[in-house]
Amino acid sequence: MSEQLKMYRLSTTPFTELTLPEGYSYSNYRNESDKLAWVECCKDGLVADDADASVFDKRESAKPHINLEKDVFFLDYNGEHIGTCTAVHHTDNNEGELHMVGMKTEFRGKGLGKYLNNIAVKKLLADGADYIVLTTDEWRLGAVKSYLSSGFQPVKYDIGMVTRWEYTLTALGVDECVMLNDDRSVFGTIHRRNRAKDDKIIRLGVLGAGRGRTMMEYCKHGKNAKIVAVCDFYEPALKDIRKSFGEDIALYPDFDEFIKHDMDGVVLANYANAHAPFAIKCMENGKDVLSEVLPVQTLKEAVELTECVEKTGRTYAYAENYCYMPAPREMRRMYKDGLLGEFEYGEGEYMHNCEPGWHRYTRGLPEHWRNTMYSTYYCTHSIGPIIHISGLRPVSVTGFETPCNDRMKRMGAKAGHTGMEIITLENGAIVKSIHGVGCSKCSIWYSMYGSKGMAESSREFADIGGVRHLHAEYDDTDVASEDMTHHKIDCDPKDELSEAAGDSGHGGSDFYTSYYFAQRLLGERNAEIIEIYEALNMFLPGLFAYRSILAGNNSMEIPDFRDKAQRDKYRNDTACTDPETAGDMLIPSYSKGDPEIPEESYKIMQEKYKKHLENK
Ligand SMILES: NC(=O)c1ccc[n+]([C@@H]2O[C@H](COP(=O)([O-])OP(=O)(O)OC[C@H]3O[C@@H](n4cnc5c(N)ncnc54)[C@H](O)[C@@H]3O)[C@@H](O)[C@H]2O)c1
């Protein structure tokens, strides 16, 4: 869940006391009888519809720093309390805090909010506060507008805030405003998006016309996004796009021209080891990013990407679609609802015999990323869902890899056919993740044990739906007894969103990455995107697992990239299998040294790819 919007009003911002319209007056909290009136003012937004006076005690009376008679205000109309706000002065840091600003429903939309803000600001200025802070939500548009006109300014204190504020300005029809940093220095002027107030369609560009077609297919039916431009330097791919998606999409062979196109966000579906430099260019050019797997190639890129997301305030979403497959989605819901208890052990598998399609995936190029990646690189399909379900950070990993088998050599892939990560999470839970492209059979499978029960997807070959099907068994308590009730689930989980996802690719999961990305840009704060820190929590175990393999399966610590001090150590770490990026930190793609791949293998792949193009 993302943080709320935050606003500051500096004491240096000019203040004008407003005169109340006829019939209106202010009062302060006096006695018990005001509690219910306060609750009535806060209903329909701030407190539940059936709230009673005890809510006032929880939210206000119980807080030691609040002086009810001084800090809780009412706006009155003909003697009736119709609005309220609380203005607290924290003397320890000289901060003013404005909260619980509520208005009875029938008095909303009349421009009365500014009087509540005005009385609170007047009080806190008189108290001598250096600044006033409040938090709010994108959907409280009337309130946000009123705060802006009362001198409050947006604060860039969490990732994605610039994007969120730009769309809030758009929805308000406000052209621009000055945004502050969390330390109250000026971040800069931010502007509304180039669109009408009520335009609810995000304009996307796509880099990479292979997998990128998935997001384009989404936009054919999705109601919240449309594709306006596509970039690919491979001519036949662009021609295919023209044929399948018509004349309305601008096509670019060159990224530097493409990025100038008027669009809100870019889907990065270019090479899996080249996402970070493009993500950074996009964000620095004011575009939000939906990045295909994987997020980065090196730790240096991980530092640069993280700091770009933090610095620009843009939205970065990681398209790890496997998190949204039906069984993992339901497992997440069950886990968040507490049905499975505390997470203790989990497994994720993404075993994919890619031999039949390898000529299409690599075009027979010996240096294609799929041929040069190490065994534990492509790890987020297996690790991602477990991280997303548990919400826990990986802290250490031990890696293993199988040999580079004959299948890999026939494909031209220079790595062990399967990689494995044994990961310890921050609460001590263990995750086993395996994934490979050169195994004999395919398996996408997730399981997790909590302190109260376990849940897993069905096995692909069991022919009952694979990741569309869920089995679970859990108890009401984690203390087992002979007569306890066990809850059993055996179902194909469905809800409104999965109905909308229908049979979109990868077990319906391809729908969600695009859908949530567009929803987030449109102001849905809790749209379930995977942000940069979570993306790295899914990726870093694979990177460090390979270091573990190269070091004889020693356990490796995984840094927390939220912490600048921890990531500092990796600022110049370019170790990877791509010579251009690695420089003098080049590592082999196979732990036992680069395997001998017969030249013939690539020739066969190129021939097959040629035939594939001819038969299209
Ligand atoms: N999430 C999933 O289920 C899933 C499935 C398949 C692929 N992917 C990911 O999608 C991405 C693309 O994979 P793919 O299967 O399309 O194969 P790919 O990586 O071979 O294709 C990438 C496409 O991008 C183009 N491209 C690369 N660099 C470019 C640049 N600088 N300028 C313009 N065009 C450029 C290439 O010509 C190619 O058409 C990869 O990151 C891959 O990991 C994800």
CATH assignment of the domain containing 143: 3.40.630.30
Residue 512 falls within a domain, yes or no? Answer: no
Angle, alpha carbons 279-282-286 (nearest 5°): 135
Residue 613 falls within a domain, yes or no? Answer: no
CATH code of residue 221: 3.40.50.720
Angle between helix axes 510-521 and 161-172 (nearest 10 degrees) is 60
The answer on 390 and 528 residing in a single domain is: yes
Residue 461 falls within a domain, yes or no? Answer: yes
pLDDT of residue 485: 86
Q: Which whole number is the average pLDDT over 431-440?
A: 98
The answer on 183 and 245 residing in a single domain is: no
pTM score: 0.95
Q: Is 293 in the pocket of ligand 1 (CB under 6 A)?
A: yes
Confidence of residue 329 (pLDDT cuts 50, 70, 90): very high
Q: Is 272 in the pocket of ligand 1 (CB under 6 A)?
A: yes
Domain that holds residue 209: 202-311
The answer on 329 and 365 residing in a single domain is: yes
The HSE-up count of residue 150 (CA atoms within 13 Å, CB side) is 28
Residue 609 falls within a domain, yes or no? Answer: no
pLDDT of residue 267: 98
The answer on 469 and 576 residing in a single domain is: yes
Q: Which whole number is the average pLDDT over 244-272?
A: 97
pLDDT of residue 58: 95
- Pick from 282, 311, 340: which residue ends a domain? 311
Kindly tell me if the per-residue pLDDT of 273 is higher than 90: yes
Residue 607 falls within a domain, yes or no? Answer: no
For residue 124, the CA-to-ligand 1 centroid distance in Å is: 55
pLDDT of residue 594: 86
Percentage of the chain lying above the pLDDT 90 cut: 94
Q: Is 292 in the pocket of ligand 1 (CB under 6 A)?
A: yes
The answer on 439 and 584 residing in a single domain is: yes
pLDDT of residue 2: 81
For residue 208, the CA-to-ligand 1 centroid distance in Å is: 5
The answer on 12 and 148 residing in a single domain is: yes
> From atom 6 of ligand 1, which residue's Cα is the shortest distance away?
211
Q: Is 107 in the pocket of ligand 1 (CB under 6 A)?
A: no
Domain total of the chain: 3
pLDDT of residue 484: 85
Confidence of residue 543 (pLDDT cuts 50, 70, 90): very high
CA distance 469 to 459: 9
pLDDT of residue 258: 98
* Pocket mutation for ligand 1, best pick of 240, 255, 271, 512 (most atoms within 8 Å of C-beta): 271
Give the position, in ligand 1's atom list, of the atom nearest the Cα of 362.
Answer: 20
Task: Return phi, psi of residue 76, to 5°.
Answer: -115, 145
Give the position, in ligand 1's atom list, of the atom nearest the Cα of 319.
Answer: 1
Kindly tell me if the per-residue pLDDT of 480 is higher than 90: no
- Pick from 166, 191, 216: which residue ends a domain? 191
The answer on 184 and 221 residing in a single domain is: no
pLDDT of residue 462: 82
Backbone torsion region of residue 313, taken as left when φ is above 0, otherwise alpha when ψ lies between -120 and 50, otherwise beta? left
Q: What is the mean pLDDT of the chain?
A: 96
Length of the chain, in residues: 616
> From atom 42 of ligand 1, which residue's Cα is the shortest distance away?
272
Confidence of residue 1 (pLDDT cuts 50, 70, 90): low
Look at strands 394-401 and 186-191 and give their pairing.
Answer: unpaired
CB 419 within 8 A of CB 583: no
Q: Is 444 in the pocket of ligand 1 (CB under 6 A)?
A: no
CATH code of residue 581: 3.30.360.10
pLDDT of residue 589: 97
Kindly tell me if the per-residue pLDDT of 236 is higher than 70: yes
Give the position, in ligand 1's atom list, of the atom nearest the Cα of 271.
Answer: 19
Strands (E), 157-294: 176-181, 186-191, 202-207, 225-231, 250-252, 265-268, 288-291
Dump pLDDT digits (tens) for 149-179: 999 999 999 999 999 999 999 999 999 999 9
Q: Is 210 in the pocket of ligand 1 (CB under 6 A)?
A: yes
Confidence of residue 445 (pLDDT cuts 50, 70, 90): very high
Q: Which whole number is the average pLDDT over 350-360?
A: 97
For residue 504, the CA-to-ligand 1 centroid distance in Å is: 19
Q: Is 255 in the pocket of ligand 1 (CB under 6 A)?
A: yes
